[in-house]
Each structure stands twice: as C-alpha cells, then as structure tokens.
Amino acid sequence: MPFRLFKRLDIPDVVLIEAVRFHDQRGFFQELYKRTDFLANNVPYDFVQVNVSFSRRGVVRGLHYQLKPMEQGKLVTVLRGRIVDVAVDIRRGSPWYGKHVMVELSEDKPLLLWIPPGFAHGFQALEDSVVLYLVTKEYSPSHERCIRWDDPDLGIPWPMRDNVILSEKDKRCPSFRDAESNFDYPL
C-alpha cells in the first residue's frame, strides 16, 4: 500500500496523509495520489490542476480560497525545504468555524495534507521551499478570496512573525470578520 496513514486532525475534515517511500540504491519512489486509497479513506476528490511554488524563507502565502462554484480542495506536499501549513475552517455553522489546524511539512517526511473545500489555506516557508499542491477545481481569479494571515481573531501561531515576506495582494487581505464566504456546514 502506498499510504501508511490517513489521520484526521483536530478539525476532522482536514487529513494528514503519510505516504510510503520505496528506497533502493537509486533513491526512492513515492506515490502522491491513488484514487482508490483516497476513496477508501473518505477523501472522495479528484484533481484537475497541479501547482508548484517556490518560496524563500519567511514567505507567507495565504490565507487563500475560492468561492463556490469554483471552491477548491487542495492536497499539499513539500518537495524541497520545510513549511508550516495552515487550514482555517470558513464554513458557517461548522463547530470549527474560525478554527485552524497547523502541520509542519518537509522534504524529509513523506507527508501530504488534504484541505477540503470550505477552508482558507496558507503556509509559511521555514526555509527556502518548493511546495506542490493538487487542486480539485481550476484557478478562477474572479472567485479567489483571501484572509489576512495574521488576523488576531484567528490566533494562528506562525513560527516567524518578524520580517515576513508577503505578496502585494496578500498585504491587502481583509480580516476574517470582513472576508467574503459562501460556504455553509456541511458543505
């Protein structure tokens, strides 16, 4: 089996997945996604777009999401470096509304994080990092929204708070209270 673990986090819709790496004298082989294993573990999504980003140490990307009908689920992993990855529940009526989960992902461990639709997503690069994420719907600029990364109402304990590098767009994100959302629980 290419996946050793499907672990539900404190917000049970967000799933940490441990893949199996097959090592030999050449290096290793690892599967990132296998539809049958994901369906068997109640992660019933297929992917339509694959993204990769390079982020320098200190970069924060997010917190991003897309409104319905272009809402995205994301499967995130790190190819190089180390990040903290964050998912914030933005589904009105959810018992976890406004709560977050945070996981460290790195090239040293074969971990993937499944973030379903209805969550804002972001990460901080703890070192120069290459992040790969598969998404369930294509990027749609007209549906894209964001929430301020350091909103005190969310209380996300980002490990690096000084000298954070943000895009111009992320500098203008609204607070959680002011962010537009069209997600209800259950989705």
Q: Which residues are catalytic?
A: 64, 133
Residue 20 in domain? yes
Q: Which amino acid, residue 185?
A: Y
Provide the number of structural domains found in the chain.
1
**185 domain-assigned:** no
Cβ neighbour number for residue 24 with a 10 Å cutoff: 7
Q: What is the share, in percent, of the chain residues with pLDDT greater than 70?
A: 99
Residue 43: inside a domain, yes or no? yes
pLDDT digits (tens, 9 = 90+) for 38-59: 999 999 889 999 999 999 999 9
Residue 28 has a pLDDT of: 93
Q: Give the pLDDT band (50/70/90) at residue 187.
A: confident
- Give how far Cα 105 sits from Cα of 93, 96, 123, Å: 29, 22, 10
Q: 64: closest CA among 181, 184, 186?
A: 181
User: For residue 1, is pLDDT > 80?
Assistant: no
Judge whether 184 lies within some domain. Answer: no
Domain annotation covers residue 182: no
Segment 94-99 shows an average pLDDT of 98
| Residue 183 domain-assigned (yes or no) | no
Strands 111-115 and 15-19: antiparallel
- Tell me the CATH number at 124: 2.60.120.10
- Domain around 36: 3-171
